[in-house]
Amino acid sequence: MVAFDARHSCFFIQVDTIQGSLEIVARDSEPRGVMDGAVFQLGNIYNICFGDDYYKFFCLSRGASTLPSVSNATSATVSSGKLETSAQYHLGDMVTAMQLGSFAPCSVTNIAVPIPTTLIPGICGPQVVFGTSHGAFGTITPVSNETYLFLKALEVAVSSVVPALGGFEHVTYREVLRAGQERGYSRNASFENVNVVSSGVFDKRRKRYLSRCVCSGDLIESFLTFSQTIQQRIPREAESRIKSCYFSMNSTLGEFFEHNDLDNSFAERSDAYLDECKTIGDVNALFSESGLPTLPLTREAVNEFLQNMQRIH
């Protein structure tokens, strides 16, 4: 079983039907106040999505193979069952209801949650819908690493042309700092200059509250409202970021996303240099296999992709 708590976040609970006992075998190490959540399985990974009382969204993951069976449940300890945060994002509204579901049209006799893989490539699981205390509704769609890379590059490119509201940038707004939580010295450049070793410590501390592995569909879909001139500029910017990201990667996509800030850490390389490194061919092979638009990205291809994306919610 999975249990949520308004003070102690979430737990995996092992039920021993013979002894008539319950035991916590995995838990979140952070004291997050869960309002509501949903659980689904992708392959051998259990994913727990929830909103907390600080208006944030989190996704915690645990491998199914690591969950103890009833026979060896007595040897399991809470410390050995830590849930890993795989995604985090500031929503700006309190989630009061969350469950597996979809806002897309479907048959009333169909009890299964539809997975719209025919519209968008790379959707790898059922959608999660949520409602908030201010009456808003939203959809969370799990996607593959390749689709995430494509969407994230578009998001960063779109945010570069959208003026920051009152100087408050999108990436800063989405950080998961709580009220009263200190940023520490992470953004004080003078400390990094004084002690080179401390820069690594401060950078690691800052990564704890950066948004991770989540894209804003609303921001990306605003591309459809831009003028033709801006729509032609954004695909070029997104393409450059995709190539730079792929050039910088020396591991799997999943590991790269886990250890890099994709909003800020794209390598600064010229398109000519990246073309000489055969980056386009590698990216196109990856995207073509995943059914995504290939490079060079065009305004028409991005338009079609985003129009289909709107149809799934």
* Number of structural domains in the chain: 3
Strand partners, 12: 2, 26
Residue 162 sits in the same domain as residue 201: no
Residue 275 sits in the same domain as residue 236: yes
Instruction: Establish if 169 belongs to a structural domain.
Output: yes
Residue 104 sits in the same domain as residue 251: no
Q: What is the pLDDT of residue 217?
A: 95
Q: What is the pLDDT of residue 243?
A: 87
Q: What is the pLDDT of residue 150?
A: 96
Point out the domain boundary residue: 140, 168, 192.
140
Residue 169 sits in the same domain as residue 219: yes
Q: What is the mean pLDDT of residues 72-98?
A: 78
Q: What is the mean pLDDT of residues 74-97?
A: 79
Please write the tens of the pLDDT for every residue from 110-163: 666 667 777 788 999 889 999 999 999 999 999 999 999 999 999 999 999 988
Residue 164 sits in the same domain as residue 259: yes
Instruction: Establish if 191 belongs to a structural domain.
Output: yes
Instruction: Establish if 168 belongs to a structural domain.
Output: yes
User: How does residue 257 score in pLDDT terms, banded at 50, 70 and 90?
Assistant: confident
User: How does residue 70 score in pLDDT terms, banded at 50, 70 and 90?
Assistant: very low
Total-model pTM: 0.85
Instruction: Establish if 287 belongs to a structural domain.
Output: yes
Mean pLDDT, the chain, as a whole number? Answer: 83
Q: What is the mean pLDDT of residues 38-46?
A: 91
Residue 228 sits in the same domain as residue 132: no
Point out the domain boundary residue: 140, 163, 192.
140
Cα gap 297→236, rounded to integer Å: 7
Residue with the bigger pLDDT between 207 and 303: it is 303
Structural domain containing residue 288: 145-176+215-311
Please write the tens of the pLDDT for every residue from 271-299: 555 555 557 888 999 999 999 999 999 99
Residue 189 sits in the same domain as residue 156: no
Identity of the amino acid at 277: C
Residue 271 sits in the same domain as residue 203: no
Listed as own residue / partner, the contacts of 1-9 with beta carbons closer than 8 Å and 24 or more positions apart are 2/37, 2/39, 2/46, 2/48, 4/34, 4/36, 4/37, 4/50, 5/34, 6/33, 6/34, 6/35, 6/53, 7/31, 7/33, 9/33, 9/34
Q: Which of 238-242, 249-253, 275-279 has the lowest mean pLDDT?
A: 275-279
Q: What is the pLDDT of residue 77?
A: 40
Q: Is pLDDT above 80 for 232? A: yes
Q: What is the pLDDT of residue 277?
A: 56
Point out the domain boundary residue: 116, 140, 164.
140
Instruction: Establish if 156 belongs to a structural domain.
Output: yes
Q: Which of 97-106, 180-189, 197-206, 233-242 has the lowest mean pLDDT?
A: 180-189
Residue 157 sits in the same domain as residue 232: yes
Q: Which of 74-83, 196-205, 224-233, 250-259 has the lowest mean pLDDT?
A: 74-83
Instruction: Establish if 73 belongs to a structural domain.
Output: no
User: How does residue 93 score in pLDDT terms, banded at 50, 70 and 90?
Assistant: very high
Instruction: Establish if 125 belongs to a structural domain.
Output: yes
Residue 171 sits in the same domain as residue 119: no
Residue 205 sits in the same domain as residue 267: no
Q: Which of 33-42, 189-198, 277-286 has the highest mean pLDDT?
A: 33-42
Instruction: Establish if 28 belongs to a structural domain.
Output: yes
Q: What is the mean pLDDT of residues 30-55?
A: 93
Percent of the chain residues past pLDDT 90, beyond the cut:
52
Q: What is the mean pLDDT of residues 164-192?
A: 69
Residue 43 sits in the same domain as residue 105: yes
Cα gap 128→141, rounded to integer Å: 7
